[in-house]
Structure 1
Amino acid sequence: MSITKLIGFKIYNHYLFKDGSYFGIDISGQDTQKTRKSIFSFSDTVKLNKVTSVVGINAVGKTMLINIFSGLSDFYLKEKSIDQTLLESTLKLRKNTDYIKVEARIASDDNKRYVIQTIFKQKKQEIDETSSSWYVEEEVIYSDSQRNCSRKNLFNPQKMGQPRYRSKLAKNSMLSPKDSYFKSVGIDYAPRVMSTSSFTNLNIPYHFSDKTPESLLGYLDNSIDYLRYNRDSNNDAVISYSLKFKGSDEVITSNDFSSFSNILSSGTIKGISLFFWILGALRSGSTIIVDEIEIHINKQIARDFIGLFMDPKTNKNNASIIYTTHYMELTNDLQRKDQEYVISRNNDTLQSSILRLSDSNARSELKNSELFESGSITNTQPDYEKYIELKSDVSKHVKELKR
């Protein structure tokens, strides 16, 4: 059984991103002995990064970018309609344009490679003309399986086989305008892209089906004696949970796991929940997306969780993680420059550029965090002049108390 994954994509006419912006998990540089632990061979021709990071200041499009990646994976590989994916809310037209073009790269571990060019358009709703929905206007599929192909041409449509056009389908085709033509290819298996971005700002507790590993509890909060799952003797279903702290005889029992969020620290709750998703990705060989990985948890815990993907002893199924962060120090652990994407906004056009660190002229002797903090890469720090304006406004709004 072959495995198929979304490798990356380019996007055009999106209101936020510069035309031709690319984001992907494939490597662009050389495979060296020093960085070999950071990548894995997905097929004879395609090598992927185990860890990919996206950094940038607030409101430049980090969350939007990873949500588009997740939406495209569901659309092409999980046969979901546009309105069943994150594409419905993340595809946003630029002014004076009427379509968005996506060029997606997909690969299988049996050496098949695909480029799908999709034209998305909007149609006003018949019931409510103030709202509209997305549909596919045209789609072209290119494919290839040659092994003797240079890396730069692996996903070059001009070097691939004869294209297949959606528009040439019979008029009585049953393909919905909201579905992808790629479903006609017929793939064996595609591990889902697991995204935690929908609850980035919500600290929702998730629990394991069996029990929360004691080693995890000891790592996150060594004051916990145990967290047990009490089961129905008839059908083995979990009916309640018991939590006990060291140094206390009290056992706190609840049939609602989320009630423990009032007892455990936000960091412990986030750590348990995030580990729940990470373990799922490691078990299934999936790609997991974590938006703002540092929220609620200690920086070292975030580093350790990311490190699980780098270690072949824990990452046995070639899983990968994509994360966004404001902690620039987290990126210092990355061994390859093509693991790092920097998003910066042009203050004149208000469009964001997606720069792969390997494509920059950044000084190699500097740590990644030093590159960002030094301003070597433009627009990676908040605008100091805007801060001075803010400070001036604060001064006007704050009056000295009369004593």
Structure 2
Amino acid sequence: MAPVRRIVIVGTGLAGGTAAGELREQGFDGEIVLVGHSPHRPYALPPLSKAVLLGEAEEPDWVHEESFYADKDIDLRTGTDIRELHLGERAVVDGDGTRIPYDRLVLATGAAPRALPVPGGDLHGLHTLRTWEDSLTLRATFAPGVRVVIVGAGWIGCEVAAAARKHGAEVTVVDPLPLPLHKTLGDTVAEVFRDLHAANGVTWHLGIGVDAFTGDEGAVNSVHLSDGITLPADVVVVGVGAAPRLELAKAAGLELSDSVPGGGVDVDATLRTSAPDVYAIGDIAAHFHPRYGRRVRVEHWANAKDQGAHVAGNLLGAAEPYTRSPYFYSDQYDLGMEVRGLANPFTDDLVVRGDLAAREFTAFWTRGGRVLAAMNVNQWDDGDTLQALVDQRGEVSADDLRTKPLADLI
């Protein structure tokens, strides 16, 4: 095996920044080039829809201190687009035409917010939330009496709604599905979030699509729904998901997957792509997960961080499969929650421990008596136990999940 002297990481988000730091932690003393479009050093995204948007923080969570990259001799190139991958020549080419050779390459290009393909989609006052700048700009629009319409009732839409209400805005959320977070949580648990937002003054238009945005002098002032209702709006937030940035991988001829929602770059259990010495991590990775026996693509921050840390060892010669269960958390008003694992809420069995109405409970999704996913809401003592139940997949009865000490079940 040829010696590894230069590793290039394309993408300066959480996944890329974590991978670069972990390479140094594992003793790699060669060149590391960390290059990406963002003008900032790597940061984590969760605070953008939480603390920053709420006004509780002015900055995101930085992956490393500002001095870290120079101190660790990491060549951080922010504000730099990579326009081509030359896999046969083992080089990438940036927007200025500069070739950057590599011995190992990591793609961590992340995802971009999806647009809503309806008339008026280019009007001023339509916002998405993906960057630090997006969060600060959106926060500045929230004020008492401002009419905010949010299109999309997923995690971003719900967290933006909670932040806008905290700032006193009038909030309406529109989604074609019958409940918020419906695809992820199913009927019973999704109803908890619908009722939570309604109790905090959010108006729902569920089971309804958006036909168009209209405005005056180029600025949005109304949202037209598929049932004929027109909603007046001072601010519109489009939160209809994110698409993995696959352009570079596709143009380079890497194998892509259509077996995961939104597509992705095919990687094996070790996060290696179809090309020699090229790996993909984070939002773009359609990862063959040994636990599930199929490809999964996970957009949550923990996956980006953990895959970034894991890939470092494989870049240096290991061939360890990535086996972590997905993890996600959210804070909305006085509700905090964590989800571990991966389940289908429409085909797997739901077991609830605790009080749904009081919003203090743990929900389990099981199949064949085995826990596939667990969600704790406003309960914080059993995180490690829930993780073990999800990871070990031991047989456990619904009655035991409801009534026995959880620590006794692992």
Which interval holds the TM-score relative to the shorter structure?
Answer: under 0.3
TM-score by length of 2: 0.24
Q: More strand per residue: 1 or 2? A: 2
Q: Give the number of the structure whose alpha-carbon radius of gyration is greater.
A: 1
**Higher RCO structure, 1 or 2 (CA under 8 Å, sep 6+):** 1
